[in-house]
Amino acid sequence: MTDDATHVPVLLDRILELFAPALDGKPAVLVDATVGLGGHADALLSAHPALRLIALDRDPNALERSARRLARHGDRVEFVHAVYDELPEVLDRFGLSHVDGVLFDLGVSSMQLDLAERGFAYSKDAPLDMRMDPTTGQTAADVLNTYSVGDLSRILRDYGEEKFAFKIAKAVVADRDDEPFDRSGRLVELLYRVVPAASRRTGGHPAKRTFQALRIEVNGELDVLRRAIPAALDALPVGGRIVVESYQSLEDRVVKQAIAELAKSRTPPGLPVELPGHGPRVKLLTRGAEKAAPEEVEHNPRAASVRLRGAERIGVAP
């Protein structure tokens, strides 16, 4: 199991660098929308003694473990069991109209992968759960056992970018008629049977894309993210900053589009000057999506797939 105190979060130094101008030398408020094991939060609180941090997570286990790690910061931290698209309601609860920074570290956490009973890791036979909040909602087993061939094929194709989506979906529906799916090991066996060996040699583990697709569907991850990023940007004052770490292309695309939309001028083309209130509302802080250096990946394999984007609020909506 991950040692919470020694767990090193991805791109920590870069995240500290990006947030510093928004947090330095003043009482500031930052929302860690996916606090996880609290690594980023711990470093930010240590770097900024006047910082107040609101720690969100949909996983109660994550909140318990991050609370232990962050206990030394006392009442500078507030913990909230919430999904990150609930950010506006959370800010209302604390009487806040804006915050100085919002951090998202998306995807499944190392803590969740370490807990075999959560069913996120295809390398371990476990119940097919995959809920980030294990107290509510449908499980991966529910999806496999109730969705039609068409719906299964759609989520495997759209969320897993799986080119054998239809073939896998047909096999799942045929097999569940004999016995419902309840363990990840049985699903992995089916995938080894259905996905051609030639594809496995070039495309990695045959379960990787299917498990990603099921996890996204179970947790509504992309729909939640499409609501959360605009809400976070709206919560920033001029000078406030957002930083997002994504770990697969579908997440990164949502983040890129939401930020790029606000980085554009809304002055009609051809006018010689920027119309008042029509300029860009954010400034990009990263050129494209930044990746981890090879040295970090060597010591922290989870960093291999990270894509980091950041933006600063420079204008308000008209």
Give yes or no: residues 214 and 75 share one domain. no
Nearest Cα residue to 184 out of 165, 164, 202, 206: 206
Q: Is 98 annotated as a binding residue?
A: no
Is residue 3 assigned to a domain? no
Nearest Cα residue to 247 out of 303, 311, 309, 206: 303
Q: Is 112 annotated as a binding residue?
A: yes
* pLDDT tens by residue, 216-274: 999 999 999 999 999 999 999 999 999 999 999 999 999 999 999 998 877 777 777 77
- Pick from 172, 203, 218: which residue ends a domain? 218
Torsion of CA 245, 246, 252, 256, to 10 degrees: -10
Q: Is 212 annotated as a binding residue?
A: no
Residue span of the structural domain in which 173 resides: 118-218
Residues 6+ apart with CB under 8 A from 107: 246, 247, 248, 251
- Pick from 179, 196, 218: which residue ends a domain? 218
Is residue 36 assigned to a domain? yes
Strand order in the sheet with 307-313: 77-81, 51-57, 28-32, 101-105, 241-246, 307-313, 282-284
- Could you give the number of structural domains in the chain? 2
Q: Is 40 annotated as a binding residue?
A: yes
Is residue 148 assigned to a domain? yes
Is residue 181 assigned to a domain? yes
Is residue 4 assigned to a domain? no
Is residue 1 assigned to a domain? no
Q: Is 114 annotated as a binding residue?
A: no
Give yes or no: residues 106 and 225 share one domain. yes
List the pLDDT tens digit at each of the 318 positions of the chain: 445 555 679 999 999 999 999 999 899 999 999 999 999 999 999 999 999 999 999 999 999 999 999 999 999 999 999 999 999 999 999 999 999 999 999 976 554 455 555 556 777 889 999 998 988 899 999 999 999 999 999 999 999 999 999 999 999 999 999 999 999 999 999 999 999 887 766 667 888 899 999 999 999 999 999 999 999 999 999 999 999 999 999 999 999 999 999 988 777 777 777 777 777 899 999 999 999 999 999 999 889 999 999 999 997 654
Give yes or no: residues 214 and 226 share one domain. no
Whole-prediction pTM: 0.89
Q: Is 48 annotated as a binding residue?
A: no
Q: Is 192 annotated as a binding residue?
A: no
